[in-house]
Amino acid sequence: MSRRSTISALCASNGALESATRRIVGSTPRTFSSTARQNASIGHFTPTSSPQLDELLNMIRQKIILPAYLPREQRKKLYSPKYEKKLRSDPVTIEIDGEVIRFRYTNPFIEMPQTRRSVLSAISQFQTADDFVNLQPLIEGTAKAQRTFDPSFYCKVIRILGQRDRIYDAIELARSVSRTDFRLDCSEKVNEILHFVQMKAVDADWDPVVTARVLRWSEMVLEMLEEEEHQPEQRKSDVPRRDVLPLHRDPMVLLAPLHLAASLLAKLGTEAGAAAVAAAESKAEAEADTEAEVKIPSKEEVREKLNKYANDIVRLWPEGKKLMEIQPKDLYETEDKMEYLTVPNKFVVIATPLLYGLEAAIPLVEPELAAQLKSRRDILAAEVQQARKEAGAKPGKRGEIVYQKIYGDAA
């Protein structure tokens, strides 16, 4: 008798958890939980702009994602040579939404794709909005398949998304951490996301509507950093350290919303900025524009945010210390911590928008606070220029592109 397991994946319209059953002939029926999103990831990826990309996504689905929905014993047989002949005539079979999927023997050393390479290859080929619809199901599917990745994988995903002007997709992946395992648990992930969030405002010449939106995005990141699901994993042998600032209190992280709040406040104080806000609000009211989902805060609200970030930064950043000296020295020597900042080009990329933010904030706060910000600005400016010198300050380098985009002729 053929071994057959049946999955009926039923999705509720509100996306709540629904049950599905997997039936294996000759065994007791077993119930497991499913969600609308999980159903999408085990069903079909939507058509993309490229036949090659469609083929790659289908391979990832067939070889990596779908087998994860089989019982452990059935899944083990797929990769066992002793079942190769039997599976040719009697494959393990599942049915999803009427689609029958058959699994035969797979040589894990030859036929099994490398998950990291395959997923990055797929995401790097995303170009259109229709392509990016597949991002969340792809990441959720590999998480369901219990594929684990180091921080560098997620940083590469973030950079791809940022370069395609899709950085909010990374924030959405993090908001769905229970399904995606996309955790904001290390400095590089967080600062790469915040870098692209800031650059979205830079690219829009700090348009108040865009800047208000990305300011909210940066605040969403800060909020997630305090959630339990985004905390760095701790081994039982780890001794809690009081000398390490958590990410939501790291001045390097707080400088991003400071930059955006200062830039927004400056724009709101101009006639052009006020006109842009009025036009955007009028358009949103007339057209129910979903892009205007973030209400433009008042100048008083933005000033309050700016003062809060500025005070937190000067309190947490000891006067006279470099930005690269705020955290304990050993963190800058540890690969999965903050060692990435010791690469001069990388430091210029991350620190340049933060430097600009300090400069934008100084004239907008009270004189005493401005003086404290200025002392940090002077130190960071020297750090950035030293890193530019060490990186070669050559056109075409990512750091120099960012620096020139922000400072231009003033460089």
Asked if residues 120 and 156 have their Cβ atoms less than 8 Å apart, the reply is: yes
Beta-bridged to residue 76, according to DSSP, are: none
Say how many CA atoms lie within 13 Å of 244 toward its Cβ: 14
Q: Taking 50 as the threshold, does the pLDDT of residue 257 lie above it?
A: yes
Mean pLDDT over residues 61-69, rounded? Answer: 89
Domain's final residue, options 94, 115, 136: 115
What's the rounded mean pLDDT across residues 28-44? 36
Q: Is residue 189 part of a domain?
A: no
- Residue 55 counted as domain residue: yes
Domain count, the chain: 2
**Domain co-membership, 272 together with 403:** yes
30-44, 133-147, 291-305: least confident range: 30-44
Q: Over 80: is that where the pLDDT of 43 sits?
A: no
CA torsion 396-398-403-408 (nearest 10°) is: 30
Q: Is residue 139 a contact partner of residue 46, using CB atoms and an 8 Å limit?
A: no
Instruction: Identify the pLDDT of residue 349.
Output: 98
Q: Which domain holds residue 379?
A: 205-227+246-410
User: Does pLDDT of 338 surpass 80?
Assistant: yes
> What is the chain's length?
411
Assigned domain for 131 exists: no
Domain co-membership, 210 together with 111: no
Judge whether residue 60 has pLDDT over 80.
yes
Q: In this predicted structure, which of 39-43, 233-237, 242-246, 357-361 has the lowest mean pLDDT? A: 39-43
Q: Verify that 387 and 276 share a domain, yes or no.
A: yes
Q: In this structure, how many other beta carbons lie within 10 angstroms of the beta carbon of residue 16?
A: 9
Per-residue confidence band for 1, with pLDDT thresholds at 50, 70 and 90: very low
Q: Is residue 262's pLDDT more than 70? A: yes
Of residues 23 and 223, more confidence is placed in: 223
Contact 178, 188 (CB under 8 A): no
What residues contact residue 78 under an 8 Å CB cut-off, 6+ apart? 67, 70, 87, 92, 103, 104, 105, 106
* Domain co-membership, 396 together with 251: yes
Residue 105: pLDDT band (50, 70, 90) is confident
Q: For position 9, what pLDDT does the model report?
A: 35
Mean pLDDT of 237-256: 90
pLDDT for 271 equals 67
Neighbours of 114 (CB within 10 A): 10
Reported confidence tier of residue 85, pLDDT bands at 50, 70, 90: confident
- 351-358-167 Cα angle (round to 5): 50
Asked if residue 120 belongs to a domain, the reply is no
User: Number of H helices and number of E strands within the chain?
Assistant: 18, 5
Position 18 scores a pLDDT of 32
* Structural domain contains residue 84: yes
216 with 88, same domain: the answer is: no
CB 262 within 8 A of CB 361: yes
Among 58, 92, 115, the domain boundary falls at 115
149-195 residue pLDDT tens = 999 999 999 999 999 999 999 999 999 999 999 999 999 999 999 99
DSSP 8-state assignment for residue 45: P
- Do the domain assignments include residue 391? yes
Instruction: Categorize the per-residue pLDDT at 210 as very low, low, confident or very high, splitting at 50, 70 and 90.
Output: very high
Least confident of 113-117, 171-175, 237-241, 377-381: 237-241
Per-residue confidence (pLDDT) for residue 394, from 0 to 100: 79
344 pLDDT tier (thresholds 50, 70, 90): very high
Torsion sign, CA atoms 260, 135, 8, 105? negative
Q: What is the pLDDT of residue 295?
A: 80
Over 70: is that where the pLDDT of 143 sits? Answer: yes
Query: pTM for the full model?
Result: 0.85
Q: For the chain, what is the mean pLDDT?
A: 85
Looking at 59, 89, 115, the residue that finishes a domain is 115
- Give domain status of residue 163, yes or no: no
> What is the pLDDT, as a whole number, of residue 83?
85
Same domain, 220 and 332: yes
pLDDT at 313: 98
Read off φ and ψ for residue 220, nearest 5 degrees. -60, -40
Q: Is 60 exceeded by the pLDDT of residue 40? A: no
What residues contact 116, with CB distance under 8 A and at least 6 apart?
Answer: 147, 149, 153
Please choose, from the candidates 154, 158, 78, 159, the residue with its C-alpha nearest in 3D space to the C-alpha of residue 116.
154
Establish if 238 belongs to a structural domain.
no
Alpha-carbon separation of residue 172 from 120, 184, 268, 342, 365 (angstroms): 18, 12, 28, 29, 33
The Cα 106–Cα 63 span in angstroms is 9
Which of the two residues, 294 and 9, has the higher pLDDT score?
294
